[in-house]
């Protein structure tokens, strides 16, 4: 039972690690355009990200795929930047319904990339377990729980800016996405592959 909580806690702290805040930045730009009314779509997006994250951990843990960690460390901020730019360019339309399947696919794919970023560490900590499937599921549950915490926080902040401070939804999306772009550019420079 203690091993169960170990992997849950590890997944939870992986997302909420303030020293490696790329996961948080991605979630912010992924859901900043939504409200509490969109909870089903938000849950689906967050779960797709977790599924992608878990698939890449599974592939790496069982040595099906080996990735260049330097490339992954560069691609993670690229996924954040692309999602933020998507927000900037689609904020005028107000509705993302026409492009929702592109967003679902991109979220799953970006989850794969983010999962590979953690795969080396996960392989090291799960190396002495006979089966890695249960630890992967436990870890994914911890990731999903932490993501729900972040999503709830972002939705509350969005509510404050849009409903109480009277920012238009478009203004709020542009502000939040621009702040994240400003934070992710140094990450890109620091992890450049050229």
- Taking the model in full, what pTM does it have? 0.91
DSSP per position, 2-27:
HHHHHHHHHHHHHHT-TTSTHHHHHH
Which residues have a Cβ under 8 Å from the Cβ of 136 and sit 6 or more positions away? 54, 57, 58, 61, 122, 126
Closest-CA residue to 55 (of 7, 108, 4): 108
Helices then strands, counting H and E runs in the chain, come out as 7, 0
> Helix (H, G, I), strand (E, B), or coil: what is residue 128?
coil
The C-alpha atoms of residue 190 and residue 120 are separated, in whole angstroms, by 20
- Could you tell me which of 66, 57, 193 has the C-alpha nearest to residue 121? 57
Q: Which residues contact 29 (CB under 8 A, 6 or more apart)?
A: 80, 83, 84, 87, 176, 177, 180
Which tokens sit at 80? 């954040």
Query: Can you give the residue ranges of every domain in the chain?
Result: 2-190
Residues making up the chain, counted from first to last:
194
In the prediction, which pLDDT does 158 show?
A: 97
CA atoms within 13 A on the CB side of 28: 24
- Per-residue pLDDT 10s for the chain (194 aa) are 577 788 899 889 988 988 879 999 999 999 999 999 999 999 999 999 999 999 999 999 888 998 899 999 999 999 999 999 999 999 876 555 667 788 899 999 999 999 998 888 887 777 777 778 888 999 999 999 999 999 999 999 999 999 999 999 999 999 999 999 999 999 999 999 88
Predicted pLDDT at 93: 67
List CB contacts of 4: < 8 A, sequence separation 6 or more. Answer: 138
């Amino acid at each position: 039972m203690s091993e169960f909580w170990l992997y849950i806690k590890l997944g939870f702290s992986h997302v909420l690690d303030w020293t490696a805040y790329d996961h948080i930045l991605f979630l912010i730009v992924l859901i900043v355009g939504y409200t509490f009314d969109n909870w089903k779509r938000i849950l689906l997006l967050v779960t797709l990200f977790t599924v992608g994250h878990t698939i890449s951990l599974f592939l790496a843990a069982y040595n099906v795929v080996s990735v260049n960690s330097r490339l992954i460390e560069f691609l993670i901020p690229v996924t954040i930047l692309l999602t933020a730019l998507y927000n900037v360019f689609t904020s005028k339309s107000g509705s993302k319904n026409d492009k929702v399947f592109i967003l679902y696919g991109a979220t799953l794919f970006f989850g794969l990339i983010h999962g590979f970023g953690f795969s080396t560490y996960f392989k090291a900590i799960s190396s002495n377990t006979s089966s890695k499937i249960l630890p992967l599921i436990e870890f994914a549950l911890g990731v999903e729980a932490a993501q729900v915490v972040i999503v709830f926080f972002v939705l509350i902040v969005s509510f404050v800016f849009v409903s109480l401070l009277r920012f238009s939804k478009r203004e709020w999306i542009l502000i939040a996405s621009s702040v994240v772009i400003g934070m992710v550019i140094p990450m890109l420079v620091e992890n450049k592959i050229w």
